[in-house]
Amino acid sequence: MESITSISPLLAILVSAGGALLIIAFKNHPNLRETCSAAAGILKFSIVVSMIPAVLRGATIECTVFKLLPGIDIAFRVDALGLLFALGASLLWIVTTFYSIGYMRTLDEHAQTRYYACFAVALSCTMGVAFAANLFTLFLFYEGLTLSTYPLVAHKETPEARAGGRKYIIYLLGAAKVFLLTAIILTYNLTGTLDFSAGGIFPEAIQAAQPGLVSVLFLLFLFGFAKCAVMPLHGWLPAAMVAPTPVSALLHAVAVVKTGVFSVVRITLFVFGVDCLRVVGIDGVFVLLASFTIITASVIALTRDNLKARLAFSTVSQLSYILLGAALLTPSALVGGIVHITFHAVSKITLFFCAGSIYVSSHLTEVSQLGGIGKKMPWTMAAFAVATLSMIGVPPASGFVSKWYLVMGSLERDSMVVLAVLMFSSLLNAAYFVPIVYRAFFGEERAVGDEGAEIKEVPLIVVPLVLTAVGSIVLGLFPEFFIKLAEGVIG
């Protein structure tokens, strides 16, 4: 495989960090501050796009910053998996920035400079995870993401927000310190390296002699990457719903949770490898954990009347589709899981944008309060309906493509149980999403929103959510580029 030395990965990481400094510098000039945020996002996306041709022809782009110890470097490498994740995250950051401007200004939110600066640092850390060449680098940026998003979760500074922030930081830092760091140290002691390698880094002798230890190591990684929200380490995610809606969109669609599932896919394929997981037999447990999370989180979502809480448990469920694709270890399932990283991101961010649009306009937060709101906010609820189709897996929305590949993967594995999980979970998705759309368009119409608020579309907010809804359809109709990247990951 061709290897290209370039500073492009480092630039993609640093550009939003530089943007954060400019945001702070222009804290007294809101227009300049927000221009810097948008410009940094556009520049970051442009750098990521510039690396597409090399990756599509099978090359990797590498950049080593410095070496700490033998086998332990701060280094970056862009391959198909990292590029797929980075493309989605960097593009959606641009959209979220413009959405944030409308949301934060309309509600006259406090601490907007801190908000935009933390947002920018979080995206730098996300790029660091996407392009990490080894476990050590990934760990540093993974932890940086947790720390930079804590102020966003606790942004409102209410007792509820502080409690949600504490739960967020305890879960994520605790899991990383107890499980993830232990797994990394043991891996280095067993293999002598932390570098990612296609097919894994564990010698066959270790797989044969110590299958139990290798299995335990995998579970330590799985639970250490608690951002993937596999049950029972999912409690931080609903608690983080106290954050402003654009932050929820960041957490649930773009950066935080996707960093978790991306990291699990990365270690599945580039630390352990498909053959290793089959040899030690941990794949069955992995399938069980992912399937349990998919179904249980969907059932819980059915019981939630608060719109953001319902979306939160939907996210817990949808993330485990990605984990299930990795757990099945078949070509189609891996492709489905990998492309779902992007396809779910576009659809789920649309849903959160819509929830924020409803709140800004009407201050309504409960599903039971949304009767007839689609008549006054048709663009918002039409976008919500499109994203709902994707969550359920109805063509031509993008979610259909990834779920189709997951179904094919379950057949390749000859697992009727997994196929049943996929079918039943789609029915549950419909059960907790379709009533929202039906109530919005056919329920009894409200005269005004909560506290007498006038219910109407907010132009600065509605444009980004319509764009992401259209994006979900476009990805469903033309998924070939992301499928090609995913196929490049599995070889």
Q: What is the pLDDT of residue 61?
A: 95
Q: Is the pLDDT of residue 380 over 80?
A: yes
Chain segment 178-188, per-residue pLDDT in tens: 899 999 999 99
Residue 334, pLDDT score? 96
Residue 462 lies in a domain: yes
Token duo for residue 277: 């997981």
Please state the rounded mean pLDDT for residues 373-391.
94
- Residue 154 is predicted with a pLDDT of 87
CA separation for the pair 113, 290 (Å, rounded): 38
- Classify strands 3-5 and 72-78 as parallel, antiparallel or unpaired: unpaired
pTM across the whole model: 0.94
With a pLDDT cut of 90, the percent of the chain lying above it is 71
Q: Examine the pLDDT at 286 and tell me if it is beyond 80.
A: yes
User: Which pLDDT belongs to residue 66?
Assistant: 87
pLDDT score of 243 more than 80: no
Q: Which domain holds residue 369?
A: 282-491
Q: Is residue 468 part of a domain?
A: yes
- pLDDT above 70 coverage of the chain, percent: 98
pLDDT at res. 409? 95
Rounded CA-CA distance 459/330 in Å is: 45
Q: pLDDT for 85-136, tens place per residue?
A: 999 999 998 999 998 888 888 888 788 899 999 989 999 999 999 999 999 9
Say what the pLDDT of residue 410 is: 95
| Number of structural domains the chain divides into | 1
Residue 357 inside a domain? The answer is: yes
> Has residue 444 been placed in a domain?
yes
The average pLDDT across 163-172 equals 90
Residue 452 pLDDT class (50, 70, 90 cuts) = low
Q: Which amino acid is residue 333, in one-letter code?
A: A
Pick the most confident of 100-104, 248-252, 260-264, 487-491: 260-264
Q: What pLDDT shows up at residue 72?
A: 84
pLDDT of residue 294: 97
Q: Give the pLDDT confidence score for residue 104 in this predicted structure.
A: 85
- The alpha carbon of 437 is separated from its chain's Cα centroid by a whole number of angstroms, namely 24
Residue that the structure tokens 């570098």 belong to: 195
Which band of pLDDT confidence, cut at 50, 70 and 90, is reported for residue 447?
low
Give the residue-averaged pLDDT of 158-170: 89
Is residue 484 situated within a structural domain?
yes
Count helices and strands in the chain by DSSP H and E runs: 23, 3
Cβ proximity of 311 and 351 under 8 Å: yes
Q: Is residue 398 part of a domain?
A: yes
Q: Would you tell me how many other CB atoms lie within 10 Å of the CB of residue 232? A: 10
Average pLDDT, the chain: 91
- Name the pLDDT band for 231 (thresholds 50, 70, 90): very high
Query: Has residue 230 been placed in a domain?
Result: no
Express each pLDDT in 30-40 by its tens digit: 999 999 999 99
Identify the pLDDT of residue 80: 95
Which amino acid, 148?
Answer: S
Q: Taking 70 as the threshold, does the pLDDT of residue 450 lie above it? A: no
Q: How many CB atoms lie within 10 A of CB 445?
A: 14
Calpha distance 224→264 (Å, rounded): 9
The pLDDT assigned to 448 comes to: 65
